[in-house]
């Protein structure tokens, strides 16, 4: 079907935008979706390979909803990078629409979103908005759930599942468009959603899946020799891909492996850097190096490798560095990326070849285990993208012919696995049960149980006995903790319980904080209080200092629940890292001492800010003064000692500039008002920065 044939079926603005983006013909899944009622407000589940055009299916429903039906559309995705990418795509395609993105503050109702036509949110943010109440929800005509198969994910899945179930109840006339990768039971998802099911194996760029060993690739129906001379399969694949003038992504199980891989392969990629790339790579290298105020050893390594046309990519990088790498890859300056699964979802990059080097990973509970079929297929899907390639190649590494055949049976010839709900565990249900009651959505034990039978968990297992036991335990526990009260079989959230739900806290974390607040007033004790929560995981490694000092804080754990901490020396080490940070220890020293990456450090500081804010809010309700928490929150935000608190009130002054001013005898904002201060500040920072700093004095 040609795009112009949609005239009269969709808004003309969509057709014009599509043609402008060189979208002239619909793909088979898009045609199937239209024939299944997509443009007649039918809810639909689309199961199709990566790059088959699922996003444009969402766009068709989105624009009909906004431009013709005059209703809002919400786009929901599990990964921030994916939300950002789709937001930018739609904003560029429809600049005349009011399009918003919201992924941050989980304790905000974001009333400003009411003014927008299309709203892009992460799963957790949408769940938070639902908890706070969304008066404009009735004006939503279409909700897109991207990567809906993530219901299978133990961390993100339960929230997504509860959110969809809740919307099924409260927004019966709202069209749901769920986009899924190819999984074993996508039809069950559509049955659960009471939606039309559209399945397609179409992929515009053929993907050849094979196993490499001994200088060749074994496909299902033929073999292929790899160009190059190196005996190591990983290096040989890189040689072969770059020799074709193509790019590739290599996936590893750990950050350490990804970084080591980039070092190892840089000798190869360097040979394929031409004069046209060098200037751009110099700029890329410089941007990576200076992404932080003071470059770390990781920044220096990544910066150095990028000059050689290769980069590593994982959760230990800060967001700006990941974006710089992705853009350099799109521009064909960086030739290869060594990544963990951070690039496994959503992000559209021009990789002709994907090599999954590590197919096993270490599980703390069960030891080494194989990756699932669906996860490997998801990584494979990054290869061969439209607009970049006419074919793609996805490979695994084997030691010999026998192991190659085993991998072929396990991953190439096997069908995708079915996805299963991960909702039926106590910690997850505790948090959601409280949100039901606090939001006046469900008030009785029976109604909560009825709701849970409507979830994908209830659909999967068709049994309520285990759910009933968990719900009974969870409600009794929440009542014991005084988060809810019961009268004549109906539950009400207490003031504290309601606030815990609004703050998006694990009730166990909230109970631990409430129990601990009256017992600590020193900085380290308060930092341990916020660090010893599930929201701060993963914790730092245990240091010798933590083992020595923890004995002084062990008594705090007496009233906490067993699951509120795991090996308490680990969250205590995390507290020590936060203590060092507010004592102005530099980032490089912190990362070395606690074995943390810049991205992980930034993530912990962000989460610590959230937990300190939440602790302040809970302190108000239990009548405990929160001035120490307020001061500590500012110090954690800036990484400063107490003596710099006054100076950082001013914009343009952070931990580095505040310390420089303090060293010159300017210790407070009042000191900046002195006539002699301008000369000192200008000498340190220059005239422009000085004008911005001193220009604030009249309002401070």
pLDDT higher than 70, residue 248: yes
- Average pLDDT of span 678-689: 93
- Average pLDDT of span 84-92: 93
- Decide if 59 contacts 179 (C-beta within 8 A): no
Element (H, E) at 264: helix 255-269
Query: What CATH code is assigned to 507-639?
Result: 1.10.3380.20
* Closest by CA position to 443, among listed 477, 474, 488, 473: 488
Give tens-digit pLDDT for 470-484.
999 999 999 999 999
β-pairing, 99-102 with 310-313? unpaired
Predicted local confidence at residue 640, as pLDDT: 97
- Decide if 92 contacts 353 (C-beta within 8 A): no
CATH topology for 3-199 is Rossmann fold (3.40.50)
Question: Which part of the chain is CATH 1.10.10.10?
Answer: 426-502
Predicted local confidence at residue 342, as pLDDT: 79
CATH topology for 644-699 is DNA polymerase; domain 1 (1.10.150)
- Average pLDDT of span 105-111: 77
Predicted local confidence at residue 367, as pLDDT: 73
Give tens-digit pLDDT for 492-506.
999 999 999 999 999
Question: Which part of the chain is CATH 3.40.50.300?
Answer: 3-199, 207-412
- Decide if 222 contacts 213 (C-beta within 8 A): no
Question: Which part of the chain is CATH 1.10.150.20?
Answer: 644-699
Give tens-digit pLDDT for 119-178.
999 999 999 888 888 889 999 999 999 999 999 998 889 999 999 999 999 888 999 999
Predicted local confidence at residue 560, as pLDDT: 46
Give tens-digit pLDDT for 250-283.
999 999 999 999 999 999 999 999 888 899 999 9
Local structure of 687: helix, strand or coil: helix
Predicted local confidence at residue 366, as pLDDT: 67
* Closest by CA position to 154, among listed 457, 379, 507: 457
Q: What does the chain come to in residues?
A: 700
pLDDT higher than 50, residue 563: no
Label residue 50 by pLDDT band (50, 70, 90).
confident
**CATH of 207-412 given 3.40.50.740, 3.40.50.300, 3.40.50.2000, 2.40.30.40:** 3.40.50.300
- Decide if 507 contacts 430 (C-beta within 8 A): yes
Sign of CA dihedral 647, 650, 651, 652: negative
**C-alpha span between 570 and 99 (Å, rounded):** 42
Close Cβ partners of 487 (under 8 Å, ≥ 6 residues apart):
none
Cβ-based burial of 487 (10 A; exposed 0-12, middle 13-18, buried ≥19):
exposed
Instruction: Please confirm whether the linkage preceding 538 is cis (ω < 30° from 0).
Output: yes
Instruction: Provide the 8-state DSSP code for 67.
Output: I
| Residue 676, token pair as written in the block | 């002699």
- E strand intervals along 48-204: 72-77, 99-102, 118-122, 140-145, 175-180, 196-199
Instruction: Provide the 8-state DSSP code for 52.
Output: S
**C-alpha span between 648 and 305 (Å, rounded):** 36
**C-alpha span between 61 and 38 (Å, rounded):** 7
Return the exposure string of 139-161: e unless at least 16 CB atoms fall within 10 Å of the residue's CB, then b: ebbbbbbbbbbbbbeeebbbbbb
- Decide if 61 contacts 9 (C-beta within 8 A): no
Angle between helices 233-243 and 255-269 (to 10 degrees): 50
**C-alpha span between 671 and 677 (Å, rounded):** 7
* Closest by CA position to 73, among listed 81, 82, 64: 64
**C-alpha span between 614 and 530 (Å, rounded):** 9
Give tens-digit pLDDT for 354-408.
999 999 887 766 678 889 999 999 999 999 988 888 999 999 999 999 999 999 9
Q: Measured in whole angstroms, how far is the alpha carbon of residue 157 from the centre of its chain?
A: 13
Query: What CATH code is assigned to 426-502?
Result: 1.10.10.10
């Amino acid at each position: 079907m040609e795009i112009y044939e949609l005239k009269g079926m969709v808004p003309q603005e969509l057709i014009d935008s599509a043609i402008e983006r060189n979208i002239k013909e619909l793909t088979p899944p898009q045609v199937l979706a239209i024939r299944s009622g997509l443009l007649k407000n039918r809810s639909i589940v689309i199961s199709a390979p990566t790059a088959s055009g699922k996003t444009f299916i969402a766009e068709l429903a989105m624009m009909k909803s906004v431009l013709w039906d005059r209703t809002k559309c919400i786009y929901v995705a599990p990964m921030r990078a994916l939300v950002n990418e789709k937001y930018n795509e739609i904003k560029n395609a429809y600049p005349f629409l009011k399009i918003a993105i919201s992924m941050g503050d989980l304790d905000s109702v974001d009333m400003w979103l009411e003014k927008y036509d299309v709203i892009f949110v992460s799963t957790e943010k949408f769940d938070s908005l639902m908890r706070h109440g969304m008066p404009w929800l009735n004006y939503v005509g279409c909700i897109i759930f991207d990567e809906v198969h993530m219901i299978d994910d133990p961390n993100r899945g339960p929230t997504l599942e509860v959110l969809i179930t809740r919307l099924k109840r409260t927004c019966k006339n709202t069209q749901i468009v769920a986009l899924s990768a190819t999984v074993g039971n996508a039809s069950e998802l559509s049955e659960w959603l009471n939606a039309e099911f559209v399945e397609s194996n179409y992929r515009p760029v053929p993907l050849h899946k094979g196993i490499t060993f001994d200088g060749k690739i074994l496909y299902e129906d033929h073999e292929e020799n790899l160009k190059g001379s190196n005996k190591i399969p990983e290096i040989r694949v890189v040689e072969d891909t770059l020799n074709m003038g193509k790019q590739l992504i290599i996936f590893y199980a750990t950050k350490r492996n990804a970084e080591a891989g980039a070092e190892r392969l840089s000798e190869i990629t360097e040979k394929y850097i031409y004069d046209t790339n060098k200037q751009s790579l110099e700029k890329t290298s410089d941007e990576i190096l200076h992404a932080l105020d003071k470059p770390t050893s990781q920044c220096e390594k990544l910066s150095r490798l990028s000059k050689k046309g290769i980069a590593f990519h994982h959760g230990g990088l800060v967001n700006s560095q990941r974006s710089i790498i992705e853009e350099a890859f799109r521009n064909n300056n960086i030739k290869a990326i060594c990544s963990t699964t951070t690039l496994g979802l959503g992000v559209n990059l021009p990789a002709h070849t994907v090599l999954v080097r590590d197919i096993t990973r270490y599980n703390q509970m069960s030891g080494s285990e194989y990756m699932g079929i669906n996860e490997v297929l998801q990584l494979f899907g990054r290869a061969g993208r439209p607009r970049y390639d006419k074919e793609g190649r996805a490979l695994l590494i084997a030691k010999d012919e026998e192991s190659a055949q085993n991998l072929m049976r396990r991953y190439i010839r096997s069908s995708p696995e079915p996805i299963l709900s991960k909702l039926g565990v106590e910690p997850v249900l505790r948090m959601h049960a409280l949100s039901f009651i606090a939001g006046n959505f469900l008030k009785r034990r029976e109604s909560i149980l009825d709701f849970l039978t409507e979830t994908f968990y209830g659909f999967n297992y068709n049994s309520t006995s285990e759910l009933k036991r968990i719900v009974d335990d969870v409600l009794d526990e929440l009542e014991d903790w005084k988060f809810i009260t019961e009268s004549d079989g109906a539950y009400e959230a207490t003031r504290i319980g309601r606030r815990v739900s609004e703050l998006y806290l694990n009730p166990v974390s909230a109970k631990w904080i409430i129990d601990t607040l009256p017992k600590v007033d020193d900085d380290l004790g308060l930092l341990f209080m916020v660090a010893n929560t599930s929201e701060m995981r993963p914790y730092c490694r245990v240091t010798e200092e933590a083992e020595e000092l923890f004995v002084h804080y062990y008594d705090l754990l007496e009233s906490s629940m067993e699951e509120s901490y795991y090996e308490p020396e680990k969250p205590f080490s995390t507290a020590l890292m936060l203590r060092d940070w507010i004592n102005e220890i530099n980032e490089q020293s912190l990362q070395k001492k606690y074995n943390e990456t810049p991205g992980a450090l930034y993530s912990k500081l962000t989460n610590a800010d959230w937990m300190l804010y939440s602790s302040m809010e809970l302190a108000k309700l239990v009548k405990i003064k929160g001035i120490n928490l307020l001061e500590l929150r500012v110090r954690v935000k800036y990484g400063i000692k107490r003596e710099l608190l006054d100076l950082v009130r001013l914009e343009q002054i952070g931990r580095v500039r505040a310390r420089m001013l303090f060293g010159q005898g300017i210790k407070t904002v009042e000191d900046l008002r002195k006539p002699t201060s301008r000369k000192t500040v200008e000498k340190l920072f220059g005239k422009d920065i000085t004008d911005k700093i001193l220009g604030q004095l009249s309002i401070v």
